[in-house]
Chains A and B, each alone.
Chain A
Amino acid sequence: MSLREGVAAPERPVVLAVAGALALLLVAPLAWLAPPLLGLGERALSLLVADSTLSILVNSVGLVAAVTAGTVLVGVPLAVLTVQTDLPFRRFWTVVAALPLVVPSYIGAFAFTTAFGPRGVLADLLAPLGVERLPTVYGFPGAILVLVLYTYPYVFLTTRAALLSLDPSLVEAARTLDCSRREAFRRITLPRILPGITAGALLAGLYTLADFGTPNFMRVPVFTQMIYAEISSPGGRGYAAVLSLQLLAVTAVFLYLEHRVGADDEGAYESSAGRGDALAFTLGKWKPVALGFAGLVAALALVVPVAILFHLLFSDPTGYANFGPTFTLEPVWNTLSVSLAAAALATVIALPVAYLSAVGDSPLAALIERATYVGYAVPGIVLGFAVIIMLNDVDALGFLYGTAPVLVFAYVVRFVPQSVGTVRSSLLQVDSGLTEAARTLGRTPSQAFRAVVLPLIAPGVAAGAALVFLTSMKELPATLLLRPIGFETLVTYIWVVREAGRYGQAAVPALVLVAVSTLSMAVILSQEGADG
């Protein structure tokens, strides 16, 4: 029995109204993409199909396609290796292979560009060996490399889940029918894990589409970059809105595909009490190759960037001596305060929304829950842009312009789905018998909710808040557009000193972010443990 069966706790209409209003508030800023668009009049249409727009579209889709293909090539073998083979230290490799997911890709891009640039660490190291010029890391190859390194875990994790849920008896049956191991993989395993792979690849594609930092550092002209450039240039708002809309449309296609795959998934994931890892086959002489592959990926995604950052700590490759802002704790406090506020606010919003969607089955409740997920689909650069227009357009909101609460609001819009998701799944696990018992003992619905449900879902609520907190800390584009004067966070600090060519000073905040990212992995893992 679940909560759903008639154990109405707090008054539903009130919750419905509150949740509805909150959802509306979260979606509202997007409406302000319309004024600059309408301001263009008929030009909007011609801009939509202009050559420059099309080339941005081609660049973006091309980048997404290449990254997606790369993530499959890296993520699927790693998943197979850690689930179905006798790879030594499988648990270790599983965690290590998932870890790059939580490191923001721009940290990797920053590290790679400083190391591999014409004046970078590697150029200095190799110069005595007579290597005069390194191939450039800038442009598409570099962007693809970095994005694959930090998004393949999506594919790795979904493929892993699919493999784990695989019913071993099917493969065994195929083997008894004289299929070779390879044929059994191709005919039985592959079709069953394909939805998992696809879902992961789509997530990697979504990340790539919305990513701002990596294409910026790698100088790749994709949507997020051109939107930023247009926002920054005179009279560019209209075109920025056109590009934003187009980016949202491409994103919507991805979300639709993901939704479709998700629906198909169920058969694949829930085939039986899957024990896919029972299929472990021995690697034999391939063991060193497999270890080498897993090690290489981990080295490129984790070891090399961290090593470069440590190197930067002790040497500044550019010509400036001791000028410019020295790193203080102020950006740390700023980051902590806005991220904490975002986590708290997101939790407060997530509770009624998740509650509604867990207990109610009305279409309205579903719509409200879906609406809170909109922020997830909106790239930070588009959200920041829309919020700025809104605050400049609506006189009554002008006083909020350039204040920290606006930044917090943007974080909440972007990341509240993480909170809604974890709260909702915790709510669904609460046995309604407990609340019924409380009601029988004379508690009002809201008393029963507080006394019984809240303590039970507390770990889930806390995990959701932690995720919002940790992802807010790493957010780049909206922070860049919305931060108050004199207010630098860890991320904007890295941005500012990097733009000024003072790479050495970005090392400390970048390492702090890597550490924070590792923390969020711990939260995710603890959640996984609780769910299982």
Chain B
Amino acid sequence: MHDNGRSRRRFLAAGASLGAAAFAGCTVPGMGGDDSGSASVPSLTSFRGSGPLVEGRPAPGGTSIEDLPDLSGDLALYLGGGEGGIYRSFVDALQEIYPEFNVEVLPGDSASLAQTVVEEVDAGNQRADVFWSIDAGSLAIVANNDAYAALPSDVTGPVPDSFVGADNAWVGVAGRARAVPYNTDELSESDIPNKVADFPDTAALGDIGWAPTYGAFKSFITAMRQLRGEDATRSWLNAMQETSITRYPNEYEVSSAVANGSLASGFANHYYAMRVRSSNPEAPIGLAFTEGDAGALVNAAGALAIQGTEKRELVNLFIRHLLSAEAQEFFATVAYSYPMIPEVEPVGNLPTIDELSPPDFDLAALADVQATNDLLRDTGVLQ
């Protein structure tokens, strides 16, 4: 179908859009000589990030993009959040692999796009086919308002039930665990209580950092409200403010501050510590996980088909690509996300997803951010 020169160019272009880091030091098996396939797919390992955390990983298992039908046609995508452009890079890579596939992206805040989807579907003005969001709560907003088109089970099949919405409304594509980054010069893992409820009374935690305006933190509080009730959450927030706690604008900065010693511990998603460690392997930062409570919440980035889309087949196939071995390896090694298919391992020395003890909790409940905002304002955390 293509001569060698063209597939070579296309491959190189795909490499460029995935970023130089992903390809640093990779050999590229099968490149150029293979004219049999309809699409030239870069090798599995070329979807991998680089750096000390990634070296020596086993090849990812699961369904390869090569075994999936070709994507082709136009797709309109609402991209909520997006992990600093990493998801966008993956979309670009797909477009390089499939010249007939074209994605128009509208990036935005995840909750706000969810709201837009709901309103557009209501007004009959829906203009996007897929909603891919970093936060299950925003997917649940769309699901609760019946603005989705259910996914077939061959799409959701590979993913554990806890990361699939009711009625197959959405499917998780990458996981994020709440964690407690701590400075390993100042604390050891055993200093970190295994319940967040014990944090206010644990003086050993030293200077703590949090980022209460950050979406992931709000999800954590929303989960706490659901699991322990309004009053317990209120007293926890009040008690935390009595400790030596400092507010940061986001959780990357919390994790950086832990690594440089300004903080002894903090509240953050797990991957920020991995980012810090990736840029400085010597950084004295460790990760602890609480057990069975809101502090151990595992949230998911996921995708859904928007009701009224005329491209159900294309949407389904696109989401299957997000769950391919290559995509999962990419999210795991570049965004340091938890893979959603068991055949791909999390990066570095992270515990696997079944070694974590997330609470028994329906992620759809994360949609109730309003009451969390009120509570955070009431307690003065958001002042």
Contacts and interface: CB of A to CB of B under 8 A. Distances in A.
Given A219-B213, A321-B21, A322-B19, A402 B125 contact: yes
Contacts of A321: 19-21, 50
A325 B84 contact: no
What 3 pairs across the A-B complex have the smallest Cβ distances?
A324-B85, A486-B104, A232-B112
A177 interface: no
Interface string B93-125: 000000000011111010110110011101111
Given A117-B249, A500-B85, A501-B250, A323 B127 contact: no
Contact of B84 (A138, A219, A318, A485): A318
A345 B85 CA distance: 35
B253 interface: yes
A496 B107 contact: yes
Contact of A119 (B19, B86, B253): B253
Interface stretch (B60-68, B236-244, B272-280, B307-315): B272-280
A485 B21 contact: no
Given A233-B115, A319-B276, 12 more contacts: A117-B253, A118-B257, A232-B109, A319-B279, A322-B21, A323-B89, A402-B127, A485-B76, A485-B128, A486-B76, A486-B105, A500-B82
A321 B84 CA distance: 10
Contact of B278 (A232, A234, A319, A501): A319
Given A232-B115, A319-B275, A133 B253 contact: no
Contacts of B120: 392, 401
B109 A499 contact: yes
Contacts of A133: 262
A500 B252 CA distance: 11
A-side interface size class: 35 or more
B248 interface: yes
Given A119-B256, A234-B115, A501-B250, A324 B89 contact: yes
Nearest to B249: A138
B125 A391 contact: yes
Contacts of B377: 52
B104 A485 contact: yes
Nearest to A55: B377
B1 to A, nearest CB: 27
A398 B123 contact: yes
A392 B85 CA distance: 30
B85 A320 contact: yes
B78 to A, nearest CB: 8
B86 A324 contact: yes
Nearest to A486: B104
A392 B278 CA distance: 46
B285 to A, nearest CB: 12
Contact of B123 (A132, A393, A500, A501): A393
A119 B253 CA distance: 7
B334 interface: yes
Contacts of A402: 125, 127
Contacts of A234: 114-115, 118, 141, 145, 367, 370
B interface: dominant SS: helix
B234 interface: no
B85 A485 contact: no
A502 interface: yes
B85 to A, nearest CB: 2
A290 interface: no
Interface in B212-234: 213
A61 interface: no
A138 B253 CA distance: 14
B85 A233 contact: no
B88 interface: yes
B127 A401 contact: yes
Contacts of A27: none
Contact of B275 (A118, A320, A392, A500): A320
B329 interface: no
A501 B256 contact: no
A231 interface: yes
A52 B127 CA distance: 34
B155 to A, nearest CB: 23
A486 B262 CA distance: 41
A401 B126 CA distance: 9
Interface in A475-532: 483-486, 496-497, 499-502
B135 interface: no
A325 B262 CA distance: 32
B92 interface: yes
Interface string B270-306: 0000011011000000000000000000000000000
Contacts of B104: 485-486
A318 B19 CA distance: 16
Given A234-B115, A485-B104, A501-B252, A323 B213 contact: no
Interface string B309-338: 000000000000000000000000010000
B369 interface: yes
Contacts of A319: 252, 275-276, 278-279
Contacts of B213: 219
Nearest to B377: A52
Contacts of A485: 76-78, 104-106, 127-128
Nearest to B118: A234
> Which of A319, A323, A401 has the largest count of B CB atoms less than 10 A from its CB?
A323
A110 to B, nearest CB: 14
B85 A323 contact: yes
B42 to A, nearest CB: 16
A133 B253 CA distance: 13
A95 to B, nearest CB: 36
